[in-house]
């Protein structure tokens, strides 16, 4: 009788209902992530894995400059791309939240999400067309007589990666900021102005602090996947724009060294996690005041 009651309780029903999704997530995500961590301590033998735990892979990562260089570059490119994406997204989110009439807001959000759903590969490739030697920008500037020979600094470097990523992740940055702006009680802003603050100072002292949770969310949601992006650095990065995902792919498929590839993946995940935690810690004041 007691068991039956327990089975019918609210918590039990909840667990039971959530279990298919939770079990799927444990089997297909959590367990494989643990496997990668284990793998990173193994050694690649000839056609098989040597099951003796060792730190050799991590020593290799620190020893050979290429790994440190590409990891640093990935972090810097992702940080710059994130800053570019979020700063360009802020005014858009602000515009939609504060200046667009309520009945038109969905339309604007829809307009922003459409490009995001067209093939990522083809979008990235089209940036190659825009930025390339015979590309849209070069031919336009040549035609207008602004430049006399095509600019070569546009494509196949970190700049191209930043522009392409800022384009690809735009909706991920706009939507969280928009949501946090929508939550702001508009009477707070009126109060700020009634108390003698200018419109600009009201923005700085009221709107911005209240929007921080959204900005923090969009920074994280853009930064984390961009560090590990593969398609963009491969297509528009050139030799000096390769990032950590290329390194991982290379050690898995070209070198066939799974433990080394796993060690790169684990290090990348660890470093990104630490950076995100530091970032959250630095913003703790704004995040706490909301909840």
Partner 1 sequence: MNKGRGFRVYAFVYLAFLYAPIVLLPIFAFNDATIVSFPLTGFTTKWFVQMWNNAALGDAVRNSLIVAVSVSILATTLGVFAARATTRYRFPGQAGLLGMIMLPLVLPDIIIAVSLLVTILQLGISLTLKTIILGHTLIATPFTIAILNSAFQSLDRSLEEAAYDLGETKASTFRLIIMPLVMPGIISSLLIAFSISLDEYIIASFLGGTDNTLPLYIFSLFRFANQVPTVMALGTILAVLSVVLLTIAEYFRRRGIARAGGKDTGGFL
What is the C-alpha separation between 58 and 274, in angstroms, rounded?
17
Interface mask (CB under 8 A) for partner 1, residues 208-247, using x and -? ------------xx--xx-xxxxx---x---------x--
Q: How far is the CB of 288 from partner 1 (least distance, A)?
A: 17
C-alpha dist (Å) from residue 171 to 51, 57, 122, 270 = 44, 37, 18, 26
Nearer to partner 1, 71 or 130 (CB): 130
Instruction: Tell me which of 3, 5, 65, 119 binds partner 1, using CB under 8 A.
Output: 119
Give the span between the Cα atoms of 249 and 273, in whole angstroms.
21
Half-sphere exposure of 184 (CA within 13 A, CB side): 27
CA distances to 124, 130, 257, 260 from 183, rounded to whole Å, are 34, 38, 49, 46
Output the CA–CA distances (angstroms, integers) from residue 40 to 51, 54, 61, in the order listed.
Answer: 11, 9, 11
Distance CA 20, CA 191 (A): 49
By CB under 8 A, which span of 50-58, 152-160, 200-208, 264-272 interacts with partner 1? 264-272
CB of 11 to partner 1, least distance (A): 4
Partner residues linked to 44 by β-bridges: 49
87 part of the interface to partner 1, by CB under 8 A:
no
Q: How far is the CB of 73 from partner 1 (least distance, A)?
A: 15
Positions 36 through 65 that interact with partner 1 (CB under 8 A): 36, 39
Query: Is the Cβ–Cβ distance between 272 and 161 less than 8 Å?
Result: no
One residue of 29, 55, 59, 191 binding partner 1 per CB under 8 A = 29
Place of tokens 């923090």: 216
Q: Does 204 bind partner 1 (CB under 8 A)?
A: no
Q: What is the phi/psi pair of residue 201, to 5°? A: -70, -35
Nearest to 161 by CA among 250, 84, 72: 84
Rounded to a whole number of angstroms, the minimum distance from the CB of residue 51 to partner 1 is: 11
| Two tokens, residue 6 | 């327990």
Number of shown-chain residues binding partner 1 (CB under 8 A) = 90
User: Among residue numbers 150 through 179, which ones bind partner 1 (CB under 8 A)?
Assistant: 167, 170-172, 175-176, 178-179
- Contact status: 198 vs partner 1 (CB under 8 A): no
- For residue 24, state whether it binds partner 1 (rule: CB under 8 A): yes
Residue range at the interface with partner 1 (CB under 8 A); choices 54-62, 109-117, 187-195, 207-215? 109-117
- Pick the stretch among 54-62, 87-95, 188-196, 278-286 that binds partner 1 (CB under 8 A): 87-95
Q: Which region, judged by CB under 8 A, interacts with partner 1, from 51-59, 126-134, 201-209, 283-291?
A: 126-134
Residue whose structure tokens are 């969905």: 106
Q: Give the residue with the Cβ less far from partner 1, 51 or 55.
A: 51
CB of 158 or CB of 163, closer to partner 1: 163
Q: Are 252 and 258 in contact (CB under 8 A)?
A: yes
Q: Which of 7, 14, 59, 68 binds partner 1 (CB under 8 A)?
A: 14
Contact partners, residue 83, CB within 8 Å, separation at least 6: none
Binding part of the chain for partner 1, among 54-62, 115-123, 207-215, 283-291 by CB under 8 A, reads 115-123
Enter the DSSP assignment of 26.
I
């Amino acid at each position: 009788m007691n068991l039956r009651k327990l089975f019918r309780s609210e918590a039990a029903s909840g667990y039971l209902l959530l279990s298919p999704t939770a079990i799927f997530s444990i089997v297909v995500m959590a367990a494989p992530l643990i496997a990668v961590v284990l793998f990173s301590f193994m050694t690649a033998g000839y056609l098989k894995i040597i099951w003796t735990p060792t730190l050799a892979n991590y020593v290799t990562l620190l020893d050979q400059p290429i790994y440190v260089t590409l990891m640093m570059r990935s972090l810097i490119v992702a940080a710059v791309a994130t800053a570019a994406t979020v700063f360009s997204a802020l005014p858009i989110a602000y515009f939609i939240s504060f200046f667009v009439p309520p009945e038109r807001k969905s339309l604007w959000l829809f307009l922003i999400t459409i490009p995001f759903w067209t093939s990522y590969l083809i979008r990235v490739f089209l940036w190659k067309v825009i930025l390339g030697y015979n590309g849209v920008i070069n031919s336009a500037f040549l035609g207008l007589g602004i430049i006399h020979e095509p600019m070569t600094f546009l494509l196949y470097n970190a700049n191209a990666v930043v522009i392409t990523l800022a384009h690809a992740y735009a909706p991920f940055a706009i939507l969280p900021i928009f949501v946090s702006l929508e939550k702001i009680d508009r009477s707070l802003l009126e109060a700020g102005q009634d108390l003698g603050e200018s419109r600009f100072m009201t923005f700085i002292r009221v709107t911005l602090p209240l929007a921080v949770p959204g900005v923090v969310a969009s920074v994280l949601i853009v930064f984390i996947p961009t560090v590990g992006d593969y398609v963009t650095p491969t297509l528009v990065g050139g030799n000096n724009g390769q990032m950590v995902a290329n390194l991982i792919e290379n050690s898995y498929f070209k070198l066939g060294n799974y433990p080394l590839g796993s060690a790169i993946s684990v290090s990348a995940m660890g470093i990104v996690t630490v950076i995100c935690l530091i970032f959250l810690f630095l913003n703790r004041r704004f995040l706490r005041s909301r909840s």
